[in-house]
Amino acid sequence: MEGFDVAVVGGGPAGSSAAREAAKTENVVVFEKGVRREDRDGIGADSTDAAGFLDYWFEVADFDPEFLEEMPVLREIDRAEFIGPTVRTSMRDTGIDSWYDGFGVTFDRVATDDLLRERAEERGAEYRIGGTVRGVETRRTTDGFVHELTVAGGENVRADYLVLADGPSRRVTLPTLAQFGDTGVKDALNPAEANHIAYQEHRRFPDELFEDDVLRFWWGAIPGETAYPWYFPNDGNVARVGVTVPRDVAVDDGDAYALLNDDETAKPSEYVHRLLENEYPEYGLDDFPLVENRGKDGGVESYPISSASPIESPTRAGVLVTGGAMGTTSAFHEGGYHLAVRTGKIAGRVIAEDRVTEYNDDWREAVGDEVSRNVGLSRLVSGYTPDDWDTIIGHAKAALEGGWLKRLRHVPAILLLQRRYSRLRSDYVAVHEEEYEPGSVPMATK
């Protein structure tokens, strides 16, 4: 059987970033199952076009100004609008230091994923596109561990180190980690229990409605912990309008939510269409034609996404979990490209530098702040009703836009929220390395 130093499962931003760093010193293969999209020739990474970056995310991703010159930026963004049932406000400054001095950007996700792949290939990483990994069997050896990958549509391989970067579906990650004992991983990351569906449409907007410098998020419009619609401007007059919804929305008070007609749950597309109708009552859906040569299928795409806290990896077994697979995509606002890139880079780096067991410490040090911020926010708003959203956006509005008297009036409530949030973000790692039992896997027979 063919052998590699490092096998990477998944060729998205996490997998490609890991592959590039590891390939500095190691022999690396990347398996990518290969997803067909309207906006790419042939198959490649999933690349669900979910691509917005805030200023400080460049630093979190460890992208420097030189990389930004190559990055296919579509729009420079000045602000994000948070829209509650009756209150709305704009944020123009994240308040976090960064070398990038604007508010943020939207970028071409497919081209950026392909760029990261090219950069890994330039370093010598080998890509096997169309190679779906079906499973991994880990065995102990006299001097470490070996991982045997079963690949549909390709040759099986063996590797000394395994990087799991299969995104939030975690079809390979979960059974692979289950080899290391009965840990809390399944409860923490099981997509069947935690998953949301993100669905979006690429639509061309009428000139007078298209706004090219703002991201919009509607909160409290549909029930669910991280359920909300959004608007992201891309190139031309095309915006991505989408919605994240839990697979199962249990609702007793459907009337309270702008996008629910009654207590029924509709298809995600229905929510997007209702949003457009509500926001632009003078227009019909036909005034926003679908851009059929984008997305995964005729201008439309969906992607599973989990509401999760991240897990540490069983590094002593030579297994490093990265990006969406380890639960770093924000359960609050879906942001995660920056965290996928950074955790991937760190995984590749510790392998190249032969200090794999430092992976968990390194990623917590590099991105712990950002991840805990996201986990804390999602815990804070879990269970929020539309009224709660109005209240919290009202506080934010007073803080961001109000005069000193108004701000002063909101200070006690804001301090209370901040205290709660600090508590909620303190314990953000769902599974610690000590829970794994790598010694429990059988010895290799030869």
Positions in the binding site for ligand FAD (CB under 6 A)? 9-15, 31-33, 35, 45-46, 48, 50-52, 132-133, 165-167, 169, 171-172, 198, 200, 242, 303, 305, 323-325, 329, 334-338, 340
Contact 421, 332 (CB under 8 A): no
Q: How far is the CB of 418 from ligand FAD (least distance, A)?
A: 25
Structure tokens at 371: 């991840």
Structure tokens at 67: 């990389």
Phi-psi map region of 170: left, alpha, beta (phi>0 left; psi -120 to 50 alpha): left
Nearer to ligand FAD, 137 or 437 (CB): 137
Structure tokens at 420: 């709660």
Nearer to ligand FAD, 183 or 330 (CB): 330
Q: How far is the CB of 412 from ligand FAD (least distance, A)?
A: 33
Q: How far is the CB of 110 from ligand FAD (least distance, A)?
A: 11
Q: Which amino acid is at 81?
A: E
Q: How far is the CB of 415 from ligand FAD (least distance, A)?
A: 30
CA distances from 127 to 16, 36, 122, 228, 315 (A): 9, 16, 11, 36, 24
Residues 6+ apart with CB under 8 A from 134: 150, 151, 152, 172
Structure tokens at 176: 């692979």
Q: How far is the CB of 423 from ligand FAD (least distance, A)?
A: 26
Nearer to ligand FAD, 35 or 441 (CB): 35
Contact 429, 309 (CB under 8 A): yes
311 pairs with which residues across the strands? 431
Q: Which amino acid is at 169?
A: S
Nearer to ligand FAD, 287 or 369 (CB): 369
The dihedral through the CA atoms of 96, 101, 107, 111 has a sign that is negative
Measuring CA to CA, which residue among 93, 173, 178 is closest to residue 133? 173
Nearer to ligand FAD, 240 or 425 (CB): 240
Q: How far is the CB of 153 from ligand FAD (least distance, A)?
A: 10
Q: How far is the CB of 257 from ligand FAD (least distance, A)?
A: 20
Rg (CA), the chain: 22
Question: How far is 139 from 150, CA to CA, in rounded Å?
Answer: 14
Question: How far is 360 from 348, CA to CA, in rounded Å?
Answer: 13
Q: How far is the CB of 109 from ligand FAD (least distance, A)?
A: 7
Nearer to ligand FAD, 85 or 168 (CB): 168
Nearer to ligand FAD, 305 or 398 (CB): 305
304 pairs with which residues across the strands? 197
